């Protein structure tokens, strides 16, 4: 296959809109032109503009609002929780995590972190957070983000419970997706010290790479969960 094959027209339109969001020309909550106006502006048909907007809606980058039109999506703590915190009770209801503690460290990046976040990532912030549900400390999250993208993060401690809404609001970095891997592990001594769990107890470990609108990996996260009567739920569409 020829790698130089041009993008379809609808994809060029959608990527142009993404570029405007990334460079700040289109801010969260801003109304986009109608399909007709967008097509005229981009020199494409209304059908092509409609397909581009549908692609952006599917990716969670824009939202269609009944009777108003299409706006650039705004990430909120509520959408953070719904999309990126996946623990559910046995009856399917959402578990409500509370932030119990956090520590933040600025340090040099490791070779593995530079391989994922980019060779220019000389320094990172390492954030260790404990979350509780129903009064029990059952979630331990360890996140790494580049200092270049999140300058002076230490001045903002304590951080909000929902990080991705904060990333967008404070730094203009909107997370569009997260790639995750799950495995079963046993609690180590550090887990037992930080969580309501005994060393050797079974945990679910989830490693995540969070990707922004520029298709950059901007966060590496490792979470460990005590599930007991909870389940880590994923919907495949």
* pLDDT on residue 28: 80
Instruction: With beta carbons less than 8 A apart as the criterion, state whether 226 and 201 touch.
Output: yes
| 161-166 contacts at long range (C-beta below 8 A, 24 or more positions apart) | 161/77, 161/97, 161/98, 161/99, 162/76, 162/77, 162/80, 162/81, 163/80, 164/75, 164/80, 164/84, 164/210, 165/75, 165/76, 165/77, 165/79, 165/80
Q: What pLDDT band is residue 7 in, cutting at 50, 70 and 90?
A: confident
What is the tens place of the pLDDT at every residue in 147-170?
999 999 999 999 988 888 888 888
* pTM of the predicted protein model: 0.74
**pLDDT tens by residue, 82-106:** 455 667 776 777 777 888 999 999 9
Angle, CA of 194, 195 and 199, to the nearest 5° = 90
Right CATH for 77-232 from 3.40.390.10, 3.30.413.10, 3.40.1410.10, 3.30.300.30: 3.40.1410.10
**Mean pLDDT score of the chain:** 85
Q: Which of 36-50, 72-86, 106-120 has the lowest mean pLDDT?
A: 72-86
* Average of per-residue pLDDT across 105-118: 97
Banded model confidence at residue 108, pLDDT cuts 50, 70, 90: very high
pLDDT of 37 > 80? The answer is yes
Domain boundaries, the chain: 9-72, 77-232
Q: State the architecture of 9-72 in CATH terms.
A: Orthogonal Bundle (1.10)
In this model, does residue 172 exceed pLDDT 70? yes
The pLDDT of 30-37, averaged and rounded, is: 89
């Amino acid at each position: 296959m020829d790698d130089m094959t041009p993008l379809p027209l609808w994809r060029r339109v959608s990527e142009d809109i993404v570029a405007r969001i990334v460079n700040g020309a289109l801010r969260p909550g801003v109304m986009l032109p109608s399909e007709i106006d967008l097509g005229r502006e981009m020199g494409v048909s209304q059908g092509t503009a409609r397909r581009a907007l549908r692609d952006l809606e599917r990716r969670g980058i824009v939202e269609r609002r009944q009777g108003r039109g299409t706006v650039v999506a705004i990430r909120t703590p509520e959408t953070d929780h719904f999309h990126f915190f996946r623990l559910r009770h046995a009856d399917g209801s959402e578990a409500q995590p509370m932030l119990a503690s956090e520590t933040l460290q600025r340090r040099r990046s490791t070779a593995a972190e530079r391989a994922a976040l980019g060779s220019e990532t000389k320094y990172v912030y390492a954030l260790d957070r404990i979350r509780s549900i129903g009064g029990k400390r059952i979630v331990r999250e360890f996140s790494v983000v580049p200092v270049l993208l999140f300058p002076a993060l230490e001045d903002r401690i304590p951080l909000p419970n929902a990080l991705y809404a904060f990333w967008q609001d404070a730094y203009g970095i909107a997370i569009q997706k997260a790639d995750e891997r799950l495995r079963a592990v046993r609690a180590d001594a550090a887990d037992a010290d930080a969580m309501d769990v005994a060393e050797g107890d079974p945990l679910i470990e989830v490693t995540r790479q969070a990707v922004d609108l520029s298709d950059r990996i901007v966060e590496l996260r490792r979470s460990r969960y005590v599930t007991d009567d909870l389940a880590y739920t994923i919907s495949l569409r």
